[in-house]
Amino acid sequence: MNAQLVPTPRHLSVGDNVQCVLNASTTLAAGPGTGTTERWLRGTLGAALGLALPPGPAGAPGTITLTTAPEMPPEDYRLDTTGGAVRITGGGPPGVFWAAQTLRQLLGPDAFRRAPINPETVWSLPAVRIEDGPRFSWRGMMLDVARHFLPKDDVLRYLDLLAAHKLNVFHFHLTDDQGWRIEIKRHPRLTEVGSWRARTKYGHRASELWDETPYGGYYTQDDIREIVAYAAERHIRVVPEIDIPGHSQAAIAAYPWLGNTDVVDTAALEVWDNWGVSPNILAPTDATLRFYEDVLTEVLELFPPHVSPFVHIGGDECPKDQWHRSPAAQTRIAELGLADEDGLQSWFIRHFDRWLTARGRRLIGWDEILEGGLAEGAAVSSWRGYAGGIAAAEAGHDVVMCPEQQVYLDHRQHGGPDEPMPIGYVRTLEDVYRFEPVPAGLSPEAARHILGTQANVWTEVMQNRSRVDYQVFPRLAAFAEVAWSPLPAPAERDYPAFEARMTAHYARLDALGVDYRPPGGPLPRQRRPGVLGRPIEGAPPEV
């Protein structure tokens, strides 16, 4: 029996034949350290079931009992529904919470609604014993809100969707060439100017279509505090990303002196309205460093260390032509005794690595931060393939595997003509299910540096929540199982069994209102006929 659970648990056995029923007399006994799950059970699951779940005696029939067992790993749990009661034990608060997500799945798809739809429903549970825990400690999703902004409530909804799939890292891509999305009180023009663009490319950058509506938005500092608190209640870490030294045109549009003023008329720059890689990058000046120290000081205040031990500083796709032509940049290279412009980028990264380390945080960046020498203590998001992650891990640096060719969810899901704005390689549900985060041949010592994996969601062609849903789901369910469950080698994975479990999971997604891609292809309203994408044919390379 697998109880149709996604992700699949490490061990599940069928108990006695006594069904456990939750009804108006069901009580909830919450032991020390289980408060987040207690609140979630009453506020979210209880609302769906129409049950108050008042306090009751631990271990009694008809009671949901929550306890912790410090001898277990913090995210591991045991769930027992035999004998007419529910007993949840977690190694720590996160394990208790993940057990509650499993409990919700056992109750059926209507448990994923916000209110009961049938007052006559009998909420019965199969009699099972489950012992479970994650393969990786970093199980994440990156959401780009710079290209297309998602309102705060949509971000909170995505945190709920991550939690429902036992994903525990939310990488929050807050700044880019096309928009600055976080309020910084020391530098208000970042949102007054940098959060708005005059128009937006519709489709791939090669498309001739434009949306001429001014576009933008940002999160106030109180919005950010709410998002972070909401994530913490769900045992999700938040990794804020502030991009440097590339992908910075929105910041330069707000404060032109941040750019390379000796080679570019930065005062004429606006927030970028197109996609791709902007040539406009930060100037390597002390004033730029002080500016971003101001920014990161406020970021650290908003993202406290227990929720955000890592801060992402980008470091990717930084074209260095302006530095090559800039007398000021060349002078800085000479002053610092650097070999070239790659060394200058490394200087940027190393500065903020030291700065963050001194404040008790860890820097993480895209794998380009390897160029010019990797900052001591920095971790790497390996996006261009496996190679950067392999090099970093073999050198003793921690790595999050997120190779573009495998787990970029903006890539299309099918090769057919109806896929909306098709980008990149075809990455089907099965392709994602067969993704392996730890590359073959990695030494055992290096393999210990693979913190885990994340799926990345870049939103250039995702104008709203429905488009994000379509690209992310159902593939995020397959990714969650890869990140959580101890699966066999990719070729040996039982995809038909996973696909069968997805039948039940689609009903859960329906109840949650997720606008996923149906197995038979996009619905008519999900298509975008005539809008140019950038499909890449053939199988993606493993690089």
Mean of the pLDDT values across residues 199-220?
97
Name the active-site residue from 76, 80, 144, 176.
176
Q: Are 342 and 320 in contact (CB under 8 A)?
A: yes
Residue 317 annotated as catalytic: yes
* The pLDDT value given to residue 373: 77
At 11-42, the pLDDT tens digits run 999 987 777 999 999 999 999 999 999 999 99
Query: How confident is the model at residue 39, as a pLDDT?
Result: 98
Q: Quick one: average pLDDT of 91-103?
A: 98
- pLDDT per position as a tens digit, 465-487: 999 999 999 999 999 999 999 99
Query: Is residue 1 scored above 60 in pLDDT?
Result: no
Q: Which residues contact 332 (CB under 8 A, 6 or more apart)?
A: 284, 285, 344
pLDDT mean over 347-364 = 96
Over range 69-81, report the average pLDDT.
97
- Judge contact between 5 and 504, C-beta under 8 A: no
Enclosing H/E stretch for 223: helix 221-233
Is residue 132 annotated as part of the catalytic site, yes or no? no
pLDDT at 104: 98
Cβ 240 vs Cβ 308: under 8 Å: yes
Burial profile 248-270: b = 16 or more Cβ within 10 angstroms, e = fewer? bbbbbbbbeebbbbebbebeebe
Looking at residue 360, what is its pLDDT?
97
Whether 78 has a pLDDT exceeding 70, the answer reads: yes
Contact present, 462 and 472 (Cβ < 8 Å): no
| Structural contact between residues 516 and 404, judged by C-beta atoms closer than 8 angstroms | no
What span, in angstroms and rounded, lies between the C-alpha atoms of 37 and 139? 20
Q: How confident is the model at residue 374 (pLDDT cuts 50, 70, 90)?
A: confident
- pLDDT tens sequence across 497-525: 999 999 999 999 999 999 999 999 999 99
Contacts of 326 (CB under 8 A, 6+ apart): 260, 262, 263, 283
Average pLDDT, the chain: 96
pLDDT score of 301 more than 70: yes
d(CA 107, CA 93): 22
CB 6 within 8 A of CB 105: yes
Select from 431, 461, 429 the least CA-distant residue to 534.
461
Mean pLDDT of 237-245: 98
Task: Please determine, for residue 88, whether its predicted confidence score (pLDDT) is greater than 90.
Answer: yes
Length of the chain: 543
**Catalytic hit among 187, 204, 235, 247:** 247
pLDDT confidence bin for 182, thresholds 50/70/90: very high
pLDDT at 19: 79
Q: How far apart are CA 537 and CA 72, in angstroms?
A: 47
Question: In the prediction, which pLDDT does 2 show?
Answer: 55
Selecting among 110, 317, 394, 499, the annotated active-site residue is: 317
Cα dihedral 68, 72, 78, 83, rounded to 10, equals -70
Q: Which DSSP category does 541 fall into?
A: P
Q: What is the pLDDT of residue 443?
A: 94
